[in-house]
Amino acid sequence: MTQQIRGWMSTNHLYWFFGLGICVLSLGGCPDEVVTAALTPGAAGELPVEIHAMIFGDETPCRDGQDCVTGQCLFGRCSGLTRTDEQWRTELVTARLNKLMGDNAQLRAEVVAKLNELAMSAELSMPIRARLVWALDDIAGTAGLAGPKAAFDTLEEPLQGLVAMSLARHGDTSQLAMVLALTESSRPAIAIEALRALGGVGANPPTEVLARLLAVATGEAPHEAARAALGALAQLKDPRTLRTLIEMVDSGPDALREPVAIALRQMTTQAFGRDVAAWRSWADGAKVPEQLSFTPAVMRVEDDLGIPEP
């Protein structure tokens, strides 16, 4: 299984699964207000028209997102969650879908059920299914991933990794071994997303999670990966990691000393900045545990210029 995971992590075509886009003015702006005042009932047994469009898109001719209830125009037609070509489009459509559903629990349950069905459908391409997993995570968290979680062993390994990270972000550690493996990916976007996901595993995190995060934060790792590890440690607030971070204030790479000080403040509410003597004195007085045992990591990642693959 480990070999399969490592083989998957090096597969070129997966990189875009985790590429997070941003909205820029040259793309027509990012309107965040839903343009529909009320939902139009669908045919018998169907979702409301606007909700259906959010999921499947429609054939409305468009020149830009302002012509579409989804806010997204792709190749002259309004696009929905199953008709988007980039993650940032999925995120914007999901945000509008969330607003449309509001606090209508029944409608939300129907939408989650439909998205689960689609995410498990072999008729859809893997990129679309991957983006549907992201949408389910955003809409309903772990509860929204009931279908993929129940059928986890039957999923393709790329989708397994994505589901595993989504579960970890919400405190479900049932697939933690895979998330830890993904932090060793040679693909920066995958490794960083996995490190961030570890920050969500909840109170009393397993020792191996803390050790991995400390290993990346203190080792020979790209600064973006180290900062992701520091962010996860700050989120976990485990006292077993404090003394290592305190020493990094004094001996860590220059580019990380300020992020370390910020992480310490988030974890302790203390504001000693980069004064390592003050931090040490506070740690002794607060009876902070001794350093956790770990081995600093050496991460070798492929060059990443931030340019999407074709």
43 has a pLDDT exceeding 90? no
Q: Is residue 302 scored above 70 in pLDDT?
A: no
Distance of CA 147 to the CA centre of its chain: 19
DSSP E strands: which ranges in the chain?
73-74, 77-78
Rounded to 10 degrees, the C-alpha dihedral 300/14/152/116 comes to 140
pTM: 0.78
Question: What's the rounded mean pLDDT across residues 158-166?
Answer: 93
Question: Which sign does the torsion angle of CA 231, 232, 238, 243 carry?
Answer: negative
Question: Residue 12: what pLDDT?
Answer: 36
Q: What is the pLDDT of residues 184-209, one digit of tens each?
A: 998 898 999 999 999 999 999 999 99
Q: What pLDDT, on the 0 to 100 scale, is given for residue 304?
A: 54
More confident residue, 299 or 239: 239
φ/ψ of 61, rounded to 5, equals -65, 140
Q: For 192-225, b where at least 16 C-beta lie within 10 A, e where not — what string?
A: bbbbbbbbbbeeebeeebbbbbbbbbbbebbeeb
> What average pLDDT does this structure show over 203-221?
95
| Each residue's pLDDT tens digit, 229-251 | 999 999 999 999 999 999 999 88
Q: Taking residues 15-37, what's their average pLDDT?
A: 42
Query: What's the rounded mean pLDDT across residues 298-305?
Result: 66
**Amino acid letter, residue 15:** Y
State the Cα–Cα distance between residues 17 and 271, nearest whole angstrom: 38
Query: How many CB atoms are located within 10 Å of the residue 251 CB?
Result: 9
* Amino acid identity for residue 153 in this structure: D
Per-residue model confidence (pLDDT) at position 160: 94
Chain mean pLDDT for the chain: 86
Residue 17 scores a pLDDT above 60: no
Residue 159 pLDDT: 92
Per-residue CA distances from 257 to 4, 14, 195, 201, 251 (Å): 37, 33, 19, 25, 8
Environment class of 78 (CB within 10 Å of its CB; exposed 0-12, middle 13-18, buried 19+): buried
> Are 182 and 190 within 8 A, CB to CB?
yes
Interval 116-121 mean pLDDT: 92
Pick the range with the lowest mean pLDDT from 20-29, 127-136, 220-229, 277-286.
20-29
pLDDT band at 122 (very low <50, low <70, confident <90, very high): confident
Residue 301's pLDDT band, with cuts at 50, 70 and 90, is low
Distance CA 189, CA 13 (A): 13
Which amino acid is located at 206 in the chain?
Answer: P
Cβ atoms of 308 and 127 closer than 8 Å: no
